[in-house]
Amino acid sequence: MTTAGRAPVPDRDPIDRVTGVAAPVVTLLTDFGLRDEFAGVMEGVILQTAPEARVLHLTHGIPPQAVLLGALALAGAVPYTPVGVHVAVVDPDVGSDRRAVVLRTGDGRLLVGPDNGVLLPAAERVGGVTGAWEITDDRLFRHPVSKTFHGRDVFAPVAGRLATGLDPAAVGPALDPETLDRLDLGTPTVGPGHVRATVLSIDRFGNTALNVTGEALDEVGLRLGGRVEIAAGDGRYYAERAATFADVAAGQMVIYDDSSGWTALAVNRGSLAEVCGLTLGDPVELRAR
């Protein structure tokens, strides 16, 4: 019974009341930004095919053409979303002969996007690749297919079909997962009391993730509570290896394990990237002191 003069509150329960099955989830991650209509258009095309789907926008703030940053963001997000169809479009080679692919993971997810490495780190976080297919059946596409907007005309309609139950084998020929394009995250140099790594990502706070894990730091003696010298650019700085920012005073540097498992550097209530002048790919040395 509703209150007079008020519209009924819509039922937002994601479980279908008739079938008892959760509505399919489709996630989107791109470098499209929010100024233009591109992200919304992709959602619209998905909903044309799968009107019952729940579309979750992970981020559209990946810097333009930054495939590695897109891959890291997808890997950091996908394990915390419902199993579903996960679309990533950071695609500087759109319209070329790069492959469009669907990957199935060990926990049953389907990842959709270009074969440029953007999908693989996420797949490896959720059981690895258990099946891979090249998207070639143009009956699944929206026509005419733009040479510059495969997000709208290829990936979105295929994702919608997959969300409604399409067998991924129907999109095109199977691929050997070993042939998929992989990103090079670099290999850190580690030794007793010493690590040389590179900058993987910098978030909006200026916190800087390196291509080395906290476990690796533990193994070489850079443990919690220890004092560490940081060599970055032309400067040398000192930090404490700690669990969180507030473990050091405001304005002090801290080395911690970030939420994705990478070693990260920060300034409590400041921007480490700004203080140290760091950009993506820069080398950073850590030494026990």
Query: Domains in the chain, start-ordered, CATH in brackets?
Result: 25-179 (3.40.50.10790), 189-288 (2.40.30.90)
- Quick one: DSSP state of residue 44? H
Q: Which amino acid is at 69?
A: L
Provide, for the chain, the percentages of residues in helix, strand and coil under a 3-state DSSP scheme, each rounded to the nearest 5.
Answer: 25, 30, 45
Looking at residue 13, its pLDDT comes to 42
b/e sequence 12-21, b meaning 16+ C-beta within 10 Å: eeeeeeeeee
Looking at residue 251, its pLDDT comes to 97
- Quick one: DSSP state of residue 180? S
Looking at residue 22, its pLDDT comes to 72
Q: What would the two tokens of residue 15 be? A: 């479980």
Q: Give the separation between CA 50 and CA 24, rounded to whole angstroms.
A: 9
- Given the DSSP bridges, would you call strands 25-30 and 85-89 parallel, antiparallel or unpaired? parallel
b/e sequence 272-282, b meaning 16+ C-beta within 10 Å: bbebbebeeeb
Looking at residue 21, its pLDDT comes to 54
Q: What would the two tokens of residue 276 be? A: 């140290």
Task: Indicate the SS3 state at residue 27.
Answer: strand
Find tokens 């950091």 and name the residue. 76
In this structure, what are the phi and psi dihedrals at residue 85, rounded to the nearest 5 degrees? -105, 130
Q: What would the two tokens of residue 46 be? A: 């998905």
Count of Cβ atoms closer than 10 Å to residue 211 Cβ: 20
Looking at residue 19, its pLDDT comes to 40
Q: Give the separation between CA 114 and CA 95, rounded to whole angstroms.
A: 11
For the chain of 289 residues, list the mean pLDDT of each consecutive stretch of 10: 41 40 90 98 97 98 97 97 98 97 98 98 97 98 97 98 97 98 95 96 97 95 96 94 97 96 97 96 96
Contact (CB, 8 A) for 77 and 125: no
Looking at residue 220, its pLDDT comes to 95
